[in-house]
Amino acid sequence: KTKENEWQEAKNKIFTWFADEFYIYFQDGCNDFNDWHKTICDEFLNRFKPILNEYGYDAEKSLKYGKAQKIVNMIVFIFIRIS
């Protein structure tokens, strides 16, 4: 495998986890949004930062909590719009 293929696989794994978490949340009736939102943002950072660092990015500088919130919020908006 090339480094690029490994990078793509690592990202795909996280985004698959991300999609699964959204699907479960929306299927379960959207309870406790604030707690769920914080948990998803924290877990996204915990999963993605090590991968960014491994592939030469400065995760602490480039991926802050606010960016995780923005990503989660955009996906929530899309889920609501297509529902």
User: How far apart (Å, rounded) are the C-alpha atoms in residues 26 and 49?
Assistant: 26
Helices (H), the chain: 3-27, 33-54, 59-62, 65-82
Amino acid identity at 18: F
Amino acid identity at 44: F
Question: Is residue 64 helix, strand or coil?
Answer: coil
Q: Which of 65, 82, 76, 62 is nearest to 19 (CA)?
A: 76
For every one of its 83 residues, what pLDDT tens digit does the chain have, with 9 covering 90 and above? 788 888 889 889 988 998 899 888 888 877 888 999 999 999 999 998 998 898 888 888 888 999 999 999 998 888 778 76
Q: What is the DSSP letter of 28?
A: T
| Global confidence as pTM | 0.80
